[in-house]
Structure formats: structure tokens, C-alpha cells
Amino acid sequence: MLKIAKYIILDIVRSKVLLAYTLLLLAISLTIFMSDADVTKGLVSITTVILIIVPLVSIVYATTYYFNAAEFTEMLVSQPISRRNILMGKFIGISSSILLAFIIGVCLPVSLFAFSATGITLMISGCLLTLSFISLAFFTSTITRDKAKGIGLALMLWFYFSIIFDGLVLLFLYTFADYPLEKAMIALTALNPIDLARILILLQMDISALMGYTGALYQQFFGSGIGIAFSLVMQLVWIVVPLFFALRIFKKKDL
């Protein structure tokens, strides 16, 4: 398993796409921190950027890589290695290399310029977000056999989680405006890893004061130990569950 991961890491690190991604993140973080003296504002801007870019790149790159390495997978399957180990090895390989890009591109500048509770939340949420979207990428790649279909599905998922979902939430809020929705909203945010990350970071930034009663309620929940644990667990669920389904499909899949 680890050997497969090692081969994949070496392969990915050599590719220029990942290098470009790292440099892009690094450029964004550094420009934001350099151009604005206010570190908190910088963190807000970085949050906005990473909430769009990180899921997109993670899911698309992982899917593309998965399909590009289809022959390698077929070759591995012919060897006496369990399919579980093959898929997990692939996951570890791809995720650790994309994570490495994120760590160099975002975590490094953030810990240099803005090492605070907010910064740490940003780093952790970013890492978890990366992992959950790679996990989703594995799910989409195992579902379909066609590369174009797989990438299309990945893009659709990204589009759904970053735009459509929030639109639906807004629609939901308007439809049921007469009802107390605080608890429902907490449940709804758990259904989207991007929202989870965003709210965790925003609450750290003390924007909760802006939010009035609803914000106070959220702060009470997500600010407490249970709330933080809840959102971390939910993010982990978003990593584990798609991967679990991917594994189940992959085990039975006729390559």
C-alpha cells in the first residue's frame, strides 16, 4: 500500500501541474499578505480564495490523475495485491502530494504571517477540505469508466458544493422563513464540506458579532468544544464516506 503511495507521490511531484498549483497558492497567499498590512483581512481574502480553488483543483486533479493512471491500476490489479490496498495506496499517494502543495502554498505563508487561532483553523480546515474533495474524486472516478464522464461528474460536484448548494440553502431559508431554522441550518451546513470549513473560519474571525441572534446561536454551537468536535467529525465523515463507497465499488468493479 505504502509502496504504491510512494510511486504515485514520486510521479506526481515530478509533474508540472502540481508545481503550478503550489506556486499559484503561494503567489495568492504572499500577494495578499504583502499587499495588506491587516493580517485578519488577509486571512479573510485567503479564505475566500481557497474555498473556491482548493476544492476545484483537488477534485479535478485527483480525477484526472486517477483516469490517466488507469493502465497502472490494471497492471497492479494483475499482481497479488488486494484491491483495497491498491485504492488506499492511490488515495494516500494522491492526497499526500496535493496536501503537500497546500501546505507549502498556504500553510507556510499563513504560519509565517498570521500564526493565530484563526490561522490554525484556516490551515486545518483547508487540509480537511483538500482531503474530502480528493475522496469525492475517488468516488466519481470509480463510479464511471469513461474519463470525460468522470471529470464532468467531478466538476458537477464541485459546482454543486460551492454554488448550487448555497443557492438551495437560500431558497430553503426563504421558503421556511416563518419557522425557527437555527438547528436545521446547523444540520444543513454539515451537508457541505465547503460550508463547514467556511463557517468554522468565519466564526474564528469574530464575524459572529455581525450575525446578531442567529450568529450568537451559531457561535454558541460551533464555538463550543462539542461544536468544533462536531464540525471536525463531519469533515472527517466527508473524507471517509466517499472513500468507503469508492472502495466498495472498486472491489467489485470489472476493470
Partner 1 sequence: MKSRVVKIGLLFLLPFQVCANTIIVAPHTNVATLKQALTLAKNGDSIIVKKGTYASINTVIDKELTILGENHPILDAHFTEEVITITASHVKLDGFIIKNSKTGSMRDFAGIRLSNVEYVTISNNILVDNFFGIYLSNCLHIQLLHNLITGSANIENSGNGIHLWKCKEVLIKENYVTRHRDGIYFEFAKKCLIEDNLSEKNIRYGLHFMFSDDDTYRHNTFKNNGSGVSVMYTRRIAMLDNTFIENWGSSIYGVLLKEITDARIEGNHFIRNTTGIYMENSDRITVTHNDFISNGWAMRVLASCNKDHFTQNNYKGNSFDVTTNGTLKEIYFSNNYWDKYDGYDLNKDGVGDIPYRPISLYAQIIEQNPQSVMLMRSFIVNLIDKVERAIPSITPESVKDDKPAMKPWKK
Cα-atom radius of gyration of the chain, to the nearest Å?
19
Residues from 218 through 247 that contact partner 1 (CB under 8 A)? 218
Please tell me the distance from the alpha carbon of residue 155 to that of residue 135, in angstroms, as a whole number. Answer: 14
Can you list the alpha helix ranges (DSSP code H) found in the chain?
A: 2-14, 16-35, 39-68, 70-78, 83-102, 108-113, 117-143, 147-159, 165-175, 182-189, 193-204, 212-223, 225-252
Residues from 60 through 89 that contact partner 1 (CB under 8 A)? none
* Binder of partner 1 out of 166, 190, 223, 245 (CB under 8 A): 166
CA–CA distance from 55 to each of 7, 28, 47, 244 (Å)? 24, 16, 12, 19
Nearer to partner 1, 25 or 169 (CB): 169
Residue 11 binds partner 1, judged by CB under 8 A: no
Residue 189 binds partner 1, judged by CB under 8 A: yes
Residues from 134 through 163 that contact partner 1 (CB under 8 A)? 162-163
Tell me the closest approach of the beta carbon of residue 199 to partner 1, in angstroms: 6
Nearer to partner 1, 168 or 249 (CB): 168
Q: Which residues bind partner 1 (CB under 8 A)?
A: 38, 41, 44, 47-48, 51-52, 162-163, 166-167, 169-170, 173-174, 177, 181-182, 185, 189, 194-195, 198-199, 202, 206-216, 218
